[in-house]
Amino acid sequence: AQSVTQPDIHITVSEGASLELRCNYSYGATPYLFWYVQSPGQGLQLLLKYFSGDTLVQGIKGFEAEFKRSQSSFNLRKPSVHWSDAAEYFCAVGRRSSNDYKLSFGAGTTVTVRA
């Protein structure tokens, strides 16, 4: 069994401030971890992913995430947020099934950016 937990439902951050979104997972094997972003009324876009190797992963739009096996976490960070970063962010765990991977998503964290 597996689950993905995003403890923060909603985060408000000032423009230019740093941002960290938490993600914890429970999975019996080596996890494949992802962060997706969903702008209002839109589909999801992949920000970054972790398969193996360097535990600090760089993504698009200035985001990075760090995999910590001991804490079962994959937190997303950005040093300085922009107003355009206001969106909903989803952490996901990939699990292998037949020809491809299925994704299990967390409930999401909504980020509001204030001027």
Partner 1 sequence: SQTIHQWPATLVQPVGSPLSLECTVEGTSNPNLYWYRQAAGRGLQLLFYSVGIGQISSEVPQNLSASRPQDRQFILSSKKLLLSDSGFYLCAWSVRSETSGRLNSYNEQFFGPGTRLTVL
- List residues near partner 1 by CB under 8 A: 4, 6, 9, 32, 36, 41-46, 49, 51-52, 90, 94, 96, 98-108
CB of 2 to partner 1, least distance (A): 12
Is the CB of 15 or the CB of 22 nearer to partner 1?
Answer: 22
CB of 42 to partner 1, least distance (A): 6
Is the CB of 83 or the CB of 101 nearer to partner 1?
Answer: 101
At residue 46's C-alpha, the angle toward residues 42 and 52, to 5°, is 160
Reference 89, options 110, 61, 115, 59; nearest CA is: 110
Is the CB of 28 or the CB of 41 nearer to partner 1?
Answer: 41
CB of 4 to partner 1, least distance (A): 8
Which residues does 73 contact at the CB level (< 8 Å), separation at least 6?
Answer: 22, 23, 24, 25, 66, 67
Is the CB of 46 or the CB of 56 nearer to partner 1?
Answer: 46
DSSP-assigned letter for residue 100: E
Query: Rounded to an integer, what distance in angstroms lies between the CA atom of residue 50 and that of residue 64?
Result: 11
